[in-house]
Structure 1
Amino acid sequence: MKVAGYIRVSTNKEGQKESPENQKQLILNFLAENQYDLYDFYMDVETGTTDKREGLKKLIRDAENKQFDIIVAKELSRLGRNVELLYQLKRIAETKGVRLITLDGRVDTQDISKQTMFGLYAWVYESESQRISDRIKSVFHMKCKSGKFMGSIPPYGYKLQDGKLIIRDDYTVEVVREIFNKYLEGWGHDKIARYLTKKQVPTPAQVAGKSNAGLYWQGTTIKKILSNPHYMGDLVQNRETSTNITNKKRKVNTQNEWIIVPNTHEPIISREVFEQAQKLLESKARRGKGRTKAPKHLFTNILYCADCGASMWYRHNRKGYICGNYAKHGNIACSHHAIKEQQLIETILTDLKSIYESFERLDTENQIKNKVHELQKKNAVRLQTIEKQIQKQMDLKRNALQKFINGDISKEDYHDFVSMVQDKLQQLEMEKSTIKKAMVDSQSTTDLSTIRKQLDEFLSFKTLTTEMVLRFIERIEVDNNQNVKIHYKFAPIECVKV
């Protein structure tokens, strides 16, 4: 009989340092007494109310694949403190024929007399966790109502001293005032961001000393400052919370749930100016409602700036594309260069016709196969790199969680960081999916007759369609001199001077 041992502790704090080893030894003793074989240990350092545990996820996957015969844990609360989650584990065990045992003698899915008590124990553990969570929230609310700032990083322009916000004695205070003044003068978020970037004003993340701080101000950062009531001297907290202990998804609280303590610290912005800014923000938001989503243009998500690597954005007034970095941050980020959409269309059509005519050469098919083989090797290497990057992001998430558990970072900072990591993971997974699809698609591009037939069909329309772009082109790059590099899915890079 193969046994999977599950070990979980909530934190790595001093009082629980021996807990993982104690749990492991108990499971090993169980194996020795029953002469069972160990399949593997699965371990998590995470609260038992969530199923977002890597060790638990792997345990469930392996149970569904019948990799072992028995799951053993010290007690049911080690597997979870969530009724729904525990019943999910019980169902998996029953449908896959995997026995579930706890070493406190309370749970054994093969013992009918103990099955009736399963639901009671699950409810008790979840209720206990809910009571602890409620006590923590109560303390948090009490500290908030006393006027104590509960975040670890104060708003831009302030510093934290004994739980109170104090105005900094530096340039950041004037930057905040300038942001509000320029916004009320009619400047947009992105324009203010470009202005501050051009002046080389350090961003809030740089001032806070964050390791992942970007070089440029963002429009979203400007909006966040404009809508932060801390700047008029009020302490406003509890603007979002988790739904409950079993659902960690954050919900934005209504204003009547906010904990507002007025006049707790010296304001940077007068109440009148702040309220004017809020009215303008609301007015602009109303004007934006109901607008139709901007249509995707022919080269959206496939056209890039060769100088900085950013995507190029379509501009109606130019009937073409400009560098996204320049559009957002100005010439401090990249040069001011553009290319007409019609120019790109003509260039690519001419190039595709040239490739079609070159198919008459006898060695073309072998050349294409060689190029596809080279591309497959590059894609395989890139996939390995992406997997390592994904693992790194997962490690960052675990480290952030541990810092939150240890009290080194606030709940807001933890969720902000996790959200950023999730965005990065999503990008990596999308790139991974794109590369895998390209590897599959490229197998068919070695068939010369198929490519010739498709080109013949497409080129007969004498125009460039989205279908043609997606079928034949991997990526297009344009530099400051309007040189165009077309990365085909089946051929070497072609460089054409426009």
Structure 2
Amino acid sequence: MSKQSVKITALYCRLSRDDEQDGLSGSIKNQQSILEKYAKENGFKNTRVFIDDGWSGVTFTRPAFTEIMELAEQGLIANLIVKDHSRLGRNRLIVGQLLEEEFDRLGIRYIAIMDNIDTAKGLSDIVPMQDLFNEWHAKNTSQKVRNVFKNKGMAGIPLTTNPPFGYMKNPETSKEWLIDEPAAKIVRQIFEMCVSGLGPTQIAKRLKSDKILTPTEYWNSIGRNCGNPPARQFNWCSDTVASILSKQEYCGDTVNFRSTTKSFKNKKKIERPQEEWQIFPNTHPAIIDRETFELVQELRQHRRRPTKSGIVSMFSGLLYCADCGEKLYYSVTNNYKREQAYFFCSSYRKNSEVCSAHYIREKVVEENVLENMRRVFRYVQAYEKEFAKQQMKCYGEEKQKELSEKRRELTKAEKRIKDIDLLIQKIYEDNAMGKLSDERFATMSMAYEEEQKNLKEAIPDMQAYLETETDKSEGLQRFIDKVKQITQPTKLTPELVHEFIEKIVIHERRYLDGKRYQLMDIYYNGVDVIRGLTPEEMEEAFQEHLAKRKINKAKTA
């Protein structure tokens, strides 16, 4: 038996999702039937069918086609037969290279039945034109698909094929998502661990040690086929955790157009900037409430890296230097007790001449924050109306002052732009009359134009700030509602700190009469700095409260 007779005649079938619209004529079954009949009638022996079902013609990394080329490199393929030339592919450059170089090098006879192409008889000059039309077809189809996706996405229909971990499609309508409770429970745990101060890597380690199924393992366990099971069980990675923590879909929103592809040929995913996303709120049940989600995003922006000992402080990422504005670094080692852990200015660490240390122990921060929080909470819970009135009064005075300053800056900038136009006109006239040299004119006009350019660039930001400044009362009411829901704290927890504290500004230590003082400004979420009342002030507020109650009772009597 000759070597040529044992070689394979490859009968290749390919069908993409776009080709399915051709109906029965383009089906895999119909292609296979035509190929087998042709091979039998024309005496081709040792036939073998290769099928790529659901693969686009613009890519050539298809499993079955790749197998054919690997066998060809081993000298095992004699013939490659397809129903029509477009089944081979729709990328004219690669198809041309295959026909003119690769098949000839590998000794493969290529036949496209319906297009009457047979490399044994030579290639017609019309074949390159067919390749061009096949590529145009792929490009046109791709554009149609993109338009359909765009219309669906703009209508608020989720574009993802599969819902995120924690959700499942409604069996009755695939456009609707339902909460998959076992998976949603894990999602909630992940968010809770992040709020408690853990980062993605630490969360992944904890999930792994607790033997929690990864998303792929869970989906496979409920019959949603996601490929082969991983080599290592419960092998959570930080990227998976970080992806879950960033998904706004868990708030109940549909988020479309997160990514795109470069072209119909290059399917590599490109992430879009967030301003190009289309977000449709409250389209499905929420797993995570919005406050928790926003808190996690804030925490992720100020990532808290563990020290070399692996310890993370609940205050990491929240402490700032009062003088240079930079964050304070956290320092703790295995050489001393946790009580000795401290924070210090990051600028000072890089260059001691730029700023001072602003050294403060973690224990001191914790004691001061707890005491301040207890006083504030006690005041809010006992005298809600008085607290709200006081905060709005302080806010009103401070904000009005700030807004007035911003308006003055805007007016000054707009006036300066007009003045510069007049100045440029004046120096132009002086130059034309010989009062100002060309060199001096060029230097002055360049400086004026640069100043004017900078002012024009700054004005939109000033205008946007003045237009979009929101009412403080909303944030204040949210703060009051949260405080009313909790009891007096006896101990600080990461959850409590991250829920209520926006930032803590640390001042440098000062000495007075031999005693050390160090100011600490605690900014609460939604209300900024709140000064806790002293016991004397608390008693005074209590007496005022009683007096108002007596007056109100007398009026209603």
Report the TM-score, using the length of structure 1 for normalisation.
0.47
Report the TM-score, using the length of structure 2 for normalisation.
0.43
Greater length-normalized contact order (CA 8 Å, ≥ 6 residues apart): 1
**Rg (Cα) greater in structure:** 2
